[in-house]
């Protein structure tokens, strides 16, 4: 809870070496990787690099992928300083699957075995707008976001010209987030060192989705009906053949780019062999750039956003073309300043630490679609000037939207403090046994979307995220055996949440915002390893038994794409289990090495006590505190094999991995968004309305690495 991760890459101290690796896996995914390091060169310079390219179709329908990855670091040692400059990034683009479906949509027989009445499933609209019950048994890799399209046009003579059928998907993610780091590590003396890191991250990208009139799906194939939408946009009723055509259904891209700059300064001081002191400063500035633009008009010539999403600083119903911003255009600013410190003690059988952090987070939101503010010497009139109300008289002075006192709608900067207190102690009973405990309290600023609404206004009574956690444990270590046992108890006193769901009736996105959620996570974990035959046969096992429960009632604020005023609704989730995570897991693996550098490993894991997730609107009225649907338990087996050998001056490493070798069919994620499971007279649950994702079936990956 509240931990940190520090990744160090070897550079000057590494040995000179280079490698090439080729991977191929299920879904026709191929990845090629080149890596190398020069080690310490003449003049105390060093270069480390790696790069890869991945391309594939993906297992789930039309979840193709195309991605690059690169990392490079140049280091130079000057006396007691090591200066390093690095760059890392992974430009990528892939198709995705966003929404769960009713169980029978994937596998009708599997649904019937779970008690779903497949003979009389009620017709209705789900998250993707599928309005007919005929499209069943589409397979566990079914994806509702793609379909076929022929972009026909009309010639001057009125002839229809076809361009050929293409695959189109309404769910694409694309992003590139390079990060550049300049680091100076200074070993002042044997007791004191100082590290200063300047970094910059430039994120650019977003995701494609449909908007406007609901993009429906074919009743028989389940494919997205792009042709129907295209034909409607290209040849609307009463079109005279020349006037611009208004698109009803389009594809839009939601951009979520950022500019992020930071400084991390850390010192480490070891006054003695018993005491170690570390700490430092953390400063960051983050600018999130969020807007939507028209990605594809799907046959039409322009699009008009719903009235509530239009830019109030331009004429109502202004037509927009491809590339134009529409429906969303705002900037989120985050300023962060923090300090941290830690003291460690280690002597004889005792080691202990205490860690303190403090931070101030400043949030501010700027919205280009809202009416402009009028900033005067004695007051600020918030969102007062718009296209339809472009003049204000105040104290006898006339102001317009073009006055120097007018500004883009901007909230006040909201500063929120936070802090963390953590501590722990370990006692070595003897050289084989130890006991330990850790405890901590974390209070941090809530996520940005829990501070400001889409109306560019601060939510009242913002509450920090608050977490209390503790654990105790025991460890045993022998030559051929090791084990760890721990018990944990984590309490979220406030767990703010935001999420987006689709309205069944309108097909539009509904965003909800919740504060004040409380939950406890408690459980016991055991892991152990036993080397039956040294360097030959090894057995490992794990047991994880948890009880994660919501303990809350709260208010959810719902905001739709077309409603300017959010609605609020009370709900209650007291005693409802936390969803989308198996709270019981048992696992074991056997690794056998018949000859040196050749190994086989079989691993099995049991997953149980996995509940569907909830959205707050279902836990209201008579359904308050109603338990979620529990998914069927399942067990997965994996097989891993590897062989290393040397030929001439090159080292070779072969690997083969087969996941879910028994091709077990199981549900990995579920939601009650569309309603609860029905209960019959015998008390049995039937998940008729439950929407799910199935887990992946049998799949493989192979790799060959050559290093020299």
User: Rounded CA gap, 691 and 501, in Å?
Assistant: 12
CB atoms within 10 A of CB 461: 7
The per-residue pLDDT for range 204-221, each reduced to its tens digit, is 999 999 999 989 998 889
Nearest of 341, 382, 347 to residue 365 by alpha carbon: 382
For residue 502, pLDDT over 90 is answered with no
Q: Rounded to an integer, what is the distance from CA 385 to the centroid of its chain?
A: 38
pLDDT at 6: 60
pLDDT confidence band for 569 (50 / 70 / 90):
low
| 42: CB partners within 8 A, 6+ apart | none
Task: Give me 539's structure tokens.
Answer: 């057995």
Residue 2 — very low, low, confident or very high, per pLDDT cuts 50/70/90? low
Percent of the chain with pLDDT over 90: 73
Pairing status of strand 584-595 against strand 567-572: unpaired
The Cα–Cα gap between 566 and 512 comes to: 9
User: 198 with 192: CB under 8 angstroms?
Assistant: no
- Say whether 236 sits in a helix, a strand or coil: coil
Residue 408 has pLDDT above 50, yes or no: yes
Return the structure tokens found at 196.
Answer: 């200063």
Vertex 305 angle, CA 300 and 308, to 5°:
170
- What are the residues whose beta carbons fall under 8 Å from the beta carbon of 705, sequence distance 6 or more? 19, 20, 21, 22, 652, 653, 655
Q: How far is the C-alpha of 104 from the C-alpha of 120, rounded, in Å?
A: 12
The per-residue pLDDT for 497 is: 67
Closest by CA to 578, choosing from 500, 490, 677, is: 490
Closest CA to 49 of 81, 88, 13, 22: 88
Q: Cβ distance 605 to 636 under 8 Å?
A: yes
What torsion, rounded to 10 degrees, do the Cα atoms 161, 166, 170, 174 define? -120
**129 contact partners, CB below 8 Å, separation of at least 6:** 214, 215, 216, 217, 507
- Check residue 580 and give its pLDDT: 87
Distances (CA, A) of 207 to 253, 257, 405, 488: 5, 11, 36, 38
Backbone phi, then psi, for 307, in 5-degree steps? -55, -40
Mean predicted lDDT score pLDDT of the chain: 90
Contact call for residues 85 and 72 (beta carbons, < 8 A): no
> Residue 350 is inside which H or E element, if any?
strand 350-367
Mean pLDDT of 231-250: 89
In 612-649 the beta strands, taken as DSSP E runs, fall at 634-647
Residue 116 burial class via C-beta count within 10 angstroms: exposed 0-12, middle 13-18, buried 19 and up: buried
> What pLDDT does 132 receive?
44
What whole-number distance in Å separates Cα of residue 637 and Cα of residue 699? Answer: 11
| Out of 269-278, 356-365, 509-518, least confident range | 509-518
Phi, psi dihedral angles at 623 (to 5 degrees): -95, 10
Q: How far is the C-alpha of 657 from the C-alpha of 680, rounded, in Å?
A: 43
The pLDDT of residue 242 is above 60: yes
Q: Which of 301, 292, 291 is nearest to 321 (CA)?
A: 301
The confidence band for 515, taking pLDDT boundaries of 50, 70 and 90, is low
Instruction: Say how far residue 27 (Cα) sits from the centre of its chain.
Output: 22
Q: pLDDT at residue 530 above 50? A: yes
- β 192-212/249-269 pair status: antiparallel
Please state the three-class secondary structure of 562-588 as a single string.
CCCCCEEEEEECCCCECECCCCEEEEE
Query: How far is it, in rounded angstroms, from Cα 428 to Cα 79?
Result: 40
How many CA within 13 A on the CB side of residue 93?
Answer: 5
Amino acid 698: pLDDT: 97
The pLDDT value recorded for residue 618 is: 76
pLDDT at 263: 96
For residues 295-310, average pLDDT: 94
Greater confidence (551 vs 605) lies with 605
Write down the residue that tokens 């009906």 correspond to: 225
Q: In the prediction, which pLDDT does 160 show?
A: 83
Q: How close are the terminal C-alpha atoms of the chain, in Å?
A: 41
pLDDT of 126 > 50? The answer is no
**Residue-wise pLDDT tens digits, 447-477:** 898 889 888 998 877 888 899 999 999 999 9
- List Cα–Cα distances, 502 to 84, 171, 448, 499, 575, in angstroms: 47, 15, 22, 10, 26
Q: Which two tokens stand for residue 664?
A: 């077990």
pLDDT value for 692: 95
Name, in order, each residue with C-beta under 8 angstroms of 124's C-beta and a sequence gap of 6 or more: 131, 504
Other beta carbons within 10 angstroms of residue 332's beta carbon come to 21
Tokens for 343?
């003291």
Average pLDDT over residues 99-124: 83
Q: What confidence tens digit (pLDDT) does each residue in 150-191 have?
A: 998 877 777 788 888 999 999 999 999 999 999 999 999 999
pLDDT of residue 128: 41
> 81 is written with which tokens?
């300083």
The whole-number average pLDDT for the span 218-227 is 91
Q: Residue 37: which pLDDT band, with cuts at 50, 70 and 90?
A: very high
Whether this prediction's pTM lies above 0.75 is answered by yes
Range with the poorest average pLDDT among 83-97, 187-201, 550-564: 550-564
Give the pLDDT score at 463: 83
Give me the pLDDT at residue 124, please: 43
Handedness of CA 610, 614, 618, 621 (dihedral sign): positive
């Amino acid at each position: 809870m509240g931990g940190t991760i520090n990744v160090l890459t070897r550079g000057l101290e590494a040995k000179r070496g280079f490698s090439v690796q080729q991977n191929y896996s299920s879904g026709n995914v191929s990845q090629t990787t080149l890596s190398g390091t020069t080690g310490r060169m003449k003049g105390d310079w060093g270069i480390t690099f790696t790069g890869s390219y991945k391309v594939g179709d993906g297992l789930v329908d039309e979840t193709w992928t195309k991605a690059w990855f690169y990392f490079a670091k140049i280091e130079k040692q000057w006396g007691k300083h090591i200066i390093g400059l690095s760059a890392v990034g992974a430009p990528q683009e892939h198709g995705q699957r966003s929404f769960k479906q009713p169980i029978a949509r994937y596998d009708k027989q599997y649904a019937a075995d779970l008690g779903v009445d497949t003979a009389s499933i009620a017709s209705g609209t789900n998250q993707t707008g599928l309005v007919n019950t005929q499209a069943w048994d589409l397979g566990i890799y079914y994806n509702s976001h793609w379909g076929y399209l022929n972009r026909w046009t009309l010639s001057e003579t009125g002839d229809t010209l076809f361009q050929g059928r293409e695959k189109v998907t309404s769910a694409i993610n694309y992003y590139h987030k390079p990060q550049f780091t300049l680091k100076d590590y200074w070993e002042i003396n044997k007791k004191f060192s100082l590290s200063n890191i300047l970094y910059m991250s430039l994120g650019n990208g977003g995701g494609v989705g449909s908007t406007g009139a609901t993009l429906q799906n074919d009743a028989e194939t389940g494919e997205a009906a792009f042709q129907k939408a295209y034909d409607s946009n290209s040849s609307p009723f009463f079109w005279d053949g020349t006037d611009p055509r208004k698109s009803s259904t389009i594809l839009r891209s939601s951009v979520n780019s950022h500019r992020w700059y930071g400084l991390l300064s850390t010192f480490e001081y070891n006054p003695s062999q018993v005491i170690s002191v570390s700490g430092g400063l953390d400063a960051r500035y983050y600018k999130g750039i969020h807007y939507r633009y028209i990605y594809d008009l799907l046959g039409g010539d322009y699009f008009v956003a719903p009235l509530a999403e239009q830019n109030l600083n331009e004429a109502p119903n202004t037509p927009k073309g491809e590339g134009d911003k529409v429906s969303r255009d705002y900037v989120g600013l985050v300023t962060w300043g923090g300090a941290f410190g830690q003291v460690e003690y280690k002597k004889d059988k005792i080691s202990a630490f205490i860690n303190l952090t403090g931070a101030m987070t400043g949030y501010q939101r700027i919205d280009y679609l809202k009416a402009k503010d009028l900033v005067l010497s004695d007051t600020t009139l918030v969102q007062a000037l718009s296209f339809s109300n472009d003049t204000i008289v105040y104290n006898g002075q006339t102001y317009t939207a073009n006055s120097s006192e007018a500004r883009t709608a901007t909230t006040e900067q909201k500063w929120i403090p936070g802090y963390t207190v953590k501590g722990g102690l370990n006692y070595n009973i003897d050289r084989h046994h130890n006991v330990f405990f850790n405890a901590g309290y974390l209070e941090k600023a809530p996520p940005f979307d829990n501070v400001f609404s889409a109306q560019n206004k601060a939510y009242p009574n913002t509450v920090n995220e608050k977490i209390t956690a503790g654990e105790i444990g025991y460890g045993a270590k022998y030559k051929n055996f090791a084990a760890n046992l721990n018990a944990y108890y984590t309490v979220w006193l406030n767990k703010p949440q935001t999420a987006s769901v689709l309205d069944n009736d309108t097909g539009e996105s509904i965003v909800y915002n919740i504060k004040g959620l409380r939950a406890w996570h408690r459980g016991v974990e055991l892991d152990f390893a036993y080397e039956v035959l040294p360097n030959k046969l090894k057995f490992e096992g794990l047991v994880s038994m948890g009880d994660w429960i919501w303990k809350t009632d709260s208010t959810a604020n719902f905001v739709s794409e077309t409603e300017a005023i959010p609605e609020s609704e009370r709900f209650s989730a007291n005693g409802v289990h936390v969803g989308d995570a198996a709270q019981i897991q048992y696992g074991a693996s056997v690794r056998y090495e018949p000859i040196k550098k050749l190994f086989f490993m079989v691993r099995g894991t049991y997953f149980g006590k996995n509940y569907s997730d909830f959205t707050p609107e279902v836990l209201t009225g008579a359904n308050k505190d109603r338990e979620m649907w529990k998914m069927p338990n399942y067990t997965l087996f994996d097989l891993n094999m590897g062989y290393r050998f040397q030929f001439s001056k090159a080292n070779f490493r072969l690997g083969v991995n087969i996941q879910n070798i028994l091709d077990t069919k199981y549900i990995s994620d579920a939601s009650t968004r569309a309603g609860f499971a029905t209960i019959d007279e015998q008390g049995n649950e039937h998940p008729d309305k439950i929407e799910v994702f199935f887990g992946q079936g049998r799949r493989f990956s192979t790799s060959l690495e050559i290093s020299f």
